[in-house]
Amino acid sequence: MIRNLRHNSLPIIAFLVTCLILGMVQLKVERPMLMAERLVQGSGWIEILLIGIYAAWITNKMLDPSQSARWRRITWTIFTVVFFGQFALGLAGFDKFLMTGKLHLPIPMMILGGPVFRGQISFMPILFLSTIIISGPAWCSQLCYFGAMDNLAAKGKTEMKPVRNKFRTKHILLLLIIIVTLLLRFFGVNTNLTTAFAIAFGVAGIGIILLVSRRKGKMIHCILWCPIGTLVNYMKLVSPFRMYIDDSCTNCMACTRHCNYDALGKPDILNRKPGMTCTYCGDCLASCKTESIRYKFLSLQSTQARNTWIVLTISLHAIFLGLARM
């Protein structure tokens, strides 16, 4: 895909992809989706140009493995501030800042719980699934508005000790969410009660972010609590992108301290493959002196595979920045 393109052309590709997709939305979707267009007719094109320039700029920054972790944190935080800022304005009565003009809960669990409860799929699950097909688990490292908070809380070097009973806990929580949601639907529980349940789940998640993730230096909310994160751990396999550890690895374990997703424990390193909670974020790359942690995409070389992933993921991030709102 990007086999023969020079490094300095990649930001241009991100610019073009971002502008193309947003341009199609501007032309084809009847209801204005870009915020500038909602405020002043015709100004959506200016917003598209600015977001495209932003995508090119961030792509250029993220291509350097030594800088990608820092810029991922910055851009993910920017996205979340914009997302929740629009949500706050929507709560204040400015309907233009809401996706459909109606208020929805900004809790990732609702991507799963909503369709299960209603028995029908909506726009958000389709958007979620499309990101997994395009760039694997990038939802959990670049696009989730709760994940950005967890990432900030877990900032810095993480504990070497792995999370205990990680897989058992995350699967039990996923199963409970599905069972409880089906029961709520079966008994015809009113919307107020189901909303209260969703809000309580979201508040508990924020508590985990502030109290547990911060203390352990691991993204405990994303690793254990969020059912969407568990789904991504499996669904990312539909994408052709992979990460692996080649045989040049010396088992020094330096990368473990830089993986907030708890995907580089000793068994993972000896197995030469990051654990299932890996989101391909690439924060670990700069810590590996032998450059043994690599991206894989079809027949491309490792660097080309990573560059392809960066271009696609940052383009998605920029598109979401322009469109994502409740």
Model pLDDT for residues 19-41, shown as the tens digit of each residue: 999 999 999 988 898 999 999 99
Task: Quote the pLDDT of residue 1.
Answer: 47
Domain boundaries, the chain: 1-94+301-326
Distance CA 314, CA 45 (A): 20
CA distance 262 to 279: 10
Model's pTM, two decimal places?
0.91
Contacts of 142 (CB under 8 A, 6+ apart): 72, 75, 76, 79, 281, 313, 314, 316, 317
Task: Report the distance separating Cα 230 and Cα 162, nearest Å.
Answer: 17
Closest alpha carbon to 245 in 274, 279, 220, 216: 274
pLDDT, tens digit, 9 for 90 and up, residues 144-160: 989 999 999 998 889 88
Residue 58, token pair as written in the block: 């961030």
Decide: 79 and 143 in contact? Cβ < 8 Å.
Answer: yes
Contacts of 113 (CB under 8 A, 6+ apart): 177, 181, 198
Query: φ, ψ for residue 231 (rounded to 5)?
Result: -60, -40
Are 63 and 310 a contacting pair, CB within 8 Å?
A: yes
Tell me how far apart the alpha carbons of residues 298 and 279 are, in angstroms, rounded to a whole number.
Answer: 18
DSSP for 133-172?
Answer: HHHGGGIIIII-HHHHHHHHHT-SPPPSSPPTTHHHHHHH
Question: In 10 A of CB 275, how many CB atoms?
Answer: 20
**Structure tokens of 326?**
């409740």
How many other β-carbons are positioned within 10 Å of the β-carbon of residue 109?
A: 22
- Contact between residue 154 and residue 214 where contact means Cβ atoms under 8 Å apart: yes
Per-residue pLDDT tens listing for the chain (326 residues): 444 456 679 999 999 999 999 999 999 988 898 999 999 999 999 999 999 999 999 999 999 999 999 999 999 999 999 999 998 888 888 888 887 656 667 888 888 888 888 887 777 788 889 899 999 999 999 999 899 999 999 988 898 899 999 999 999 999 999 999 999 989 988 888 888 988 999 999 999 999 999 999 999 999 999 999 999 999 999 999 999 999 999 999 999 999 999 999 999 999 999 999 999 999 999 999 999 999 999 999 999 999 999 999 999 999 999 987 76
CA angle 277, 297, 273 (to 5 degrees): 35
SS3 245: strand
Does residue 31 contact residue 95 with C-beta atoms inside 8 Å? no
Cα radius of gyration rounded to whole Å, the chain: 20
